[in-house]
Structure 1
Amino acid sequence: MERDFTIVFMQTINQDIKTGQFHRAYLLYGEEDYLKLQYRDRLVRALTGGQESMNFSRMEGDDCDLKGLIDLAQTMPFFADHRCILIMESGFFNSSNDELAAYLETVPETAVLIFVEKAVRKSTRPFKAITKYGYACEFLKPDERTLMQWIGGRLSKEKKTMSPEAWREFFLRSGENMENMEREYEKLVTYCLDRERIELDDVRAITSRPLNNRVFDLIDAMARRDGKLLLEHYADMIAAKEPPLRILSLIERQFIQMLAVRQMSSDHLSDREIGQKIAVSPYIVGKIRRSSESYSQEQIRQLLADASDMEERIKTGKITDRLGVEVLMMRYAR
Structure 2
Amino acid sequence: MRRIDEDIKKKEYKKAYLLYGQEDYLKKQYRDKLKKALVNPGDTMNYAYFEGQNCDFHEIIQLSETMPFLAEKRVILIEDSGFCNKSCDDLADYIKEIPVTTVIIFVESQVDKRNKLYKEISKNGLAVEFGEQKDEILEKWVAVRLKKDNKRITREAFLTFVQRVGTDMENIDKELEKLVCYTLDKDIIENQDVLDITTEQISNRIFEMVDAIALKKQSKAMLLYHDLLALKEPPMRIMYMISRQFHILEIVKAMTNQGFDAASIATHAGCPRWAVKKNQYQAKSFTLDQLKEAVRDGVEYETLVKTGKLNPQIAVELFIVKYSSMSNKKLH
The corresponding residue for 1:113 is: 104
The residue that corresponds to 2:278 in the other structure is 287
* Shift in alpha-carbon separation, 1:50–1:43, aligned structure 2, 3 A: farther
Tell me: CA distance 1:99–1:322, structure 2 relative to 1, closer, same or farther (3 Å): closer
Gaps of 5+ in 1: 1-9
CA distance in structure 2 between the partners assigned to 1:267 and 1:297 by the alignment: 12
Q: Displacement, 1:101?
A: 4.8
Normalising by structure 1, report the TM-score: 0.84
Taking a change above 3 Å as real, the CA distance of residues 327 and 64 of structure 1, as seen in their structure-2 partners, is closer
Equivalent residues, number: 325
Mapped to 2, the partners of 1:307 and 1:26 lie a distance apart of 39
Corresponding residue for residue 29 of structure 2 = 38
1:92 CA drift (Å): 4.1
One-letter amino acid of the counterpart of residue 202, structure 2: L
1:84 is displaced (CA, Å) by 0.9
Residue 323 to residue 108, structure 1, CA distance change in 2 (3 Å) = closer
Letter matched to residue 32 of structure 1: E
2:19 is the counterpart of 1:17: no
What residue is the counterpart of 1:199 in the other structure? 190
Q: 1:73 aligns with which of 51, 64, 72?
A: 64
Q: Give the alignment partner of residue 28 of structure 1, picking from 1, 19, 25.
A: 19
Aligned to 1:277: 268
CA distance in structure 2 between the partners assigned to 1:139 and 1:262 by the alignment: 28
Q: Residues 43 and 269 (structure 1 numbering): CA distance in 2 closer, same or farther, change over 3 Å?
A: same
Please state how far the C-alpha of 1:79 moved relative to its aligned partner. 2.5
Once the two structures are TM-superposed, the CA of residue 243 in structure 1 deviates from its matched residue by: 2.0
Which residue does the alignment assign to 1:184? 175
Task: Tell me: CA distance 1:250–1:135, structure 2 relative to 1, closer, same or farther (3 Å).
Answer: closer
The 2-side partners of 1:99 and 1:315 are apart by: 40
Which of 28, 44, 49 aligns to 1:53? It is 44
1:262–1:90 CA distance, 2 compared to 1 (3 A): same
| CA distance 1:199–1:306, change in 2 (3 Å) | same
Which residue number in structure 1 is paired with residue 328 of structure 2? none
- Distance of 1:265 and 1:112 partners within structure 2: 46
Greater shift, 172-181 or 299-308, is seen at 299-308
The DSSP-based 3-state class of the residue aligned with 2:105 is: strand
Contact residue 213 and residue 320 of structure 2 kept, 8 A = yes
Q: Deviation digits for residues 246-279 of structure 1, max 9, x if unmatched?
A: 2222222222222222111122211211111121
The within-5 A match list for 1:1-334 is 10-49=1-40, 53-94=44-85, 99-122=90-113, 126-304=117-295, 321-334=312-325
Q: Which residue of 2 aligns with 1:5?
A: none
Deviation at 1:282, TM superposition (A): 2.0
- Rate the CA distance shift 1:116–1:325 in 2: closer, same or farther, 3 A: closer
- State which drifts further: 192-201 or 253-262: 253-262
State the shift of 1:28 in Å: 1.8
Instruction: Give the partner amino acid of 2:254.
Output: Q
- Does the 8 Å CA contact 2:305/2:315 hold for their aligned counterparts? yes
Q: Aligned pair in 2 of structure 1 residues 40, 317: CA closer, same or farther (>3 Å)? A: closer
Q: For residue 290 of structure 1, report the CA deviation from its aligned partner.
A: 0.9
- Other-structure match for 1:7: none
CA distance in 2, matches of 1:310, 1:15: 51
Contact 1:45 1:51 in 2 (8 A): no
Kept after mapping to 1: 8 A contact 2:251/2:268: no
TM-score (norm 2): 0.85
Identical amino acids, percent of aligned pairs: 39
C-alpha distance in structure 1 between counterparts of 2:113 and 2:307, whole Å: 45
Is the 1:47–1:82 contact (alpha carbons within 8 Å) kept by the matching residues of 2?
yes
- Alpha-carbon distance between aligned partners in 2 of 1:257 and 1:161, rounded to the nearest angstrom: 33
* Alpha-carbon shift at residue 57 of structure 1 (Å): 0.7
CA, structure 1 residues 29+51, in 2 after alignment: closer, same or farther (shift >3 Å)? Answer: farther
- Alignment CA distance shift 1:91-1:235 (3 Å): closer
| Superimposed CA distance per residue, residues 207-235 of structure 1 (whole angstroms, 9 cap, x where no aligned partner) | 11111110111111222233443343233
* Change beyond 3 A, Cα 1:103–1:313: closer
Letter in 2 for 1:72: L
CA distance in 2, matches of 1:20, 1:205: 46
